[in-house]
Amino acid sequence: MSNLSHYGDAGEVRMVDVSAKAETRRAARAHVFVRISREALEKLPQNPKGNPLEVARIAGIAAAKRTSDLIPLCHPLMLAHADVEATVEPDGVRIIASAATTAPTGVEMEALTAASVAALTVYDMLKALDKRIEIQDLYLLEKSGGKSGDFRR
């Protein structure tokens, strides 16, 4: 018998059964940084594809809602909230994604997926201006709720 929650007795991968867990409020925030040249950042307002930060925000929100379609063992969740904030800084764009729900399992993966897809969208929208864009420092900032309690980075 395995002590790992995503493995069955015979070692097969499985989705964790959360049906006996109580529904509680769960929230999470994730961070990612997109390093972009100053020259490309200066051209951000004239981007021919539109406003990269707004497109990234919408892409991240949509991705949070589809996390279980992308991560095989994630539970599908009805999100009560999803948001993405993108802030231009001297060396790039800092993205903070958040998600919340009332469910028997957490929303860390939804926040991380939102941040990841938002960062990839910024890359896609700006790749014609800067081929050296780097996506860096994807991590969970904080989470609340659930059996494991609160976490702050």
Query: Is 91 tagged catalytic?
Result: no
Active-site position among 91, 124, 137, 150? 124
Q: Where are the beta strands (DSSP E) in the chain?
A: 24-35, 81-89, 92-103, 134-144, 151-152
In the three-class reduction of DSSP (H, G, I as helix; E, B as strand; rest coil), residue 146 is classed as coil
Residue 4 has a pLDDT of: 52
Query: Looking at this protein, which amino acid is placed at residue 136?
Result: Q
Domains of the chain: 24-152 (3.30.70.640)
Q: How many residues does the chain have?
A: 153
Residue 2 has a pLDDT of: 45
127-138 residue pLDDT tens? 999 999 999 999
Residue 6 has a pLDDT of: 67
86-111 residue pLDDT tens? 999 999 999 999 999 999 899 999 99
Please identify every stretch of the chain with a pLDDT value under 50, giving residue numbers as ranges: 1-2
In the three-class reduction of DSSP (H, G, I as helix; E, B as strand; rest coil), residue 136 is classed as strand
Any idea which residue has 């925000």 for tokens? Answer: 57
Dihedral of alpha carbons 49, 91, 29, 67, sign: positive
